Amino acid sequence: MNKDGNEGFILKEDVKLMNEKMTRPEKEQVTFNKDRIAWRIGLNNFAKHLFFLSTVFAIVVLGILLYQIVVGSIGWLDWQFLTNNLSIFPEKAGIKGAIMGTLFLMMIVIPITLIIGVATAIYLEEYATEGRIQRIIKVNISNLASVPSVIFGLLGLTVFSRMLNLGPSILAGGLTMSLLVLPIVVVASQEALRSVPGFLREASYGMGADKWTTIWRVVLPISIPGIITGAILSISRAIGETAPLVVLGVPTLIMKIPTGIMDDFTVMPIQIYYWTLDTVLTPEYAYLASATIVVLLVTLFILNSVAIIIRNKFQKKF
Amino acid sequence: MRNLNGNKSKFVYQVKGLNLWYGDKQVLKDINMKVLENEITAIIGPSGCGKSTFVKTLNRMTDNIPIVRTEGEILYNSQDIFNSEMKVEELRTKVGMVFQKPNPFPKSIFENVVYGPKIHGIKSKKTLMEIAEQSLRGAALWEEVKDRLSDNAYGLSGGQQQRLCIARTMAVSPEVILMDEPTASLDPVATMKIEELMEDLKKEYTIIIVTHNMQQAARISDKTAFFLSGELIEFDKTNKVFGNPADKRTEDYITGRFG
Amino acid sequence: MESNNVREIIQQNIRKKNHFSDKLMPKIFLFMALISVVTTFGIVYTLIFDSIKFFSQVPISEVFSTKLSPLSKNPSFGFLPLLNGTFFTTIIAMLVAVPIGMGAAIYLSQFASEQIRKILKPVLEVLAGIPTIVYGFFAYSFVTPLLMKLIPSLGAKNVLSPGIVMGIMIIPMVASLSEDAMNAVPEIMKEGAMGLGSTKLETTTKVIIPASISGIVASVVLAISRAIGETMIVTIASGSAKNFTFDITQSMQTMTAYIVEFTSGDAGSGTVGYYSLYAVGLILFIFTLIINLIAQYIARKYREEY
Per residue in A20-41, pLDDT tens? 555 555 555 555 677 888 888 8
Look at residue A92 in the predicted model and tell me its pLDDT. 76
For residue C7, which residues of chain B lie inside 8 Å, CB to CB? 172-173
Pair C78, C150 in one domain: yes
Give the chain B residue nearest C4 (alpha carbons): B173
Nearest to B120 by CA among B87, B75, B76: B87
Q: Is residue B259 a part of any domain in this protein?
A: no
pTM of the entire structure? Answer: 0.86
CATH number, position B95 = 3.40.50.300
Confidence tier at A17 by pLDDT (50, 70, 90) = low
Look at residue A6 in the predicted model and tell me its pLDDT. 42
Q: CA-based Rg of chain B, rounded to a whole angstrom? A: 18
Look at residue B234 in the predicted model and tell me its pLDDT. 92
Nearest to A83 by CA among A100, A66, A104, A69: A100
The average confidence (pLDDT) of chain B is: 89
Whether A151 sits inside 8 A of C285 (CB atoms) is yes
Query: Which position has the higher pLDDT, C270 or A131?
Result: A131
Confidence tier at B1 by pLDDT (50, 70, 90) = very low
Q: CA-based Rg of chain C, rounded to a whole angstrom? A: 26
Q: Is B153 within 8 Å of B112 (Cβ atoms)? A: yes
Domain residue limits at B80: 11-254
Longest distance between any two alpha carbons in chain B, whole Å: 56
Look at residue C1 in the predicted model and tell me its pLDDT. 41
Beta-carbon pairs below 8 A across chains B and C: 41
Sheet with B176-180, edge to edge strand ranges: B95-98, B176-180, B206-210, B40-44, B223-228, B231-237
Pick the CATH number of A79-314 from 3.40.47.10, 1.10.287.3610, 1.10.3660.10, 1.10.3720.10: 1.10.3720.10
Residue A88 has pLDDT above 90, yes or no: no
Range list for CATH 1.10.3720.10 in chain A: 79-314
Q: Is residue C127 a part of any domain in this protein?
A: yes
CA distance linking residue B59 with residue B74, whole number of Å: 10
Q: Which of C36, C201, C285 sits opposite A43 (nearest CB)?
A: C201
Q: What is the mean pLDDT of each run of 10 residues along chain C (306 residues)?
A: 71 82 90 94 93 90 84 84 94 96 93 89 87 94 92 89 95 93 86 82 88 90 94 90 85 92 69 89 94 87 60
Whether A8 sits inside 8 A of C199 (CB atoms) is no
All chains having 3 or more CB pairs closer than 8 angstroms to chain B? A, C
Q: Which of C2, C9, C14 sits opposite B90 (nearest CB)?
A: C14
Percentage of residues in chain A with pLDDT exceeding 90? 48
Pair C37, C167 in one domain: no
Pair C140, C247 in one domain: yes
Helix H or strand E segment including C273 = helix C272-303
Beta-carbon pairs below 8 A across chains A and B: 61
Pair C162, C291 in one domain: yes
Q: How many domains does chain B have?
A: 1
DSSP string, B32-85: EEEEETT-EEEEE-STTSSHHHHHHHHTTGGGG-TTEEEEEEEEETTEETTSTT
Look at residue C266 in the predicted model and tell me its pLDDT. 54
Phi and psi based region of residue A277 (left: phi greater than 0; alpha: psi -120 to 50; beta: remaining): alpha
Look at residue A74 in the predicted model and tell me its pLDDT. 87
Pair C11, C142 in one domain: no
Q: Is residue B3 a part of any domain in this protein?
A: no
Residue A1 has pLDDT above 50, yes or no: no
Whether A143 sits inside 8 A of C141 (CB atoms) is no
Residue A19 has pLDDT above 70, yes or no: no
DSSP helix/strand/coil, B15:
strand
Confidence tier at A302 by pLDDT (50, 70, 90) = very high
Q: Which of C7, C14, C15 sits opposite B173 (nearest CB)?
A: C7
Whether A296 sits inside 8 A of C28 (CB atoms) is no
Least confident of B3-12, B113-122, B222-231, C210-219: B3-12
Spell out the residues 6+ positions from residue C26 whose beta carbon is closer than 8 angstroms to its own.
A123, A127
Query: Which position has the higher pLDDT, B258 or B224?
Result: B224
Q: What is the mean pLDDT of residues A190-194?
A: 94
The average confidence (pLDDT) of chain A is: 85
Whether B103 sits inside 8 A of A205 (CB atoms) is no
Q: What is the mean pLDDT of residues B153-159?
A: 92
Q: Is residue B21 a part of any domain in this protein?
A: yes
Whether A115 sits inside 8 A of C207 (CB atoms) is no
Q: Mark out chain A residues that contact chain B at CB-CB < 8 A.
A: 129, 197, 199-200, 202-210, 213, 217-218, 221-222, 316, 318
Least confident of A77-91, B226-240, C217-231: A77-91
Q: Is residue B211 a part of any domain in this protein?
A: yes
DSSP helix/strand/coil, C239:
coil
Q: Is residue B148 a part of any domain in this protein?
A: yes
Domain residue limits at C105: 68-303
Residue A279 has pLDDT above 50, yes or no: yes
Q: Mark out chain C residues that contact chain B at CB-CB < 8 A.
A: 2-4, 6-7, 9-11, 13-15, 17
Q: How many domains does chain C have?
A: 2
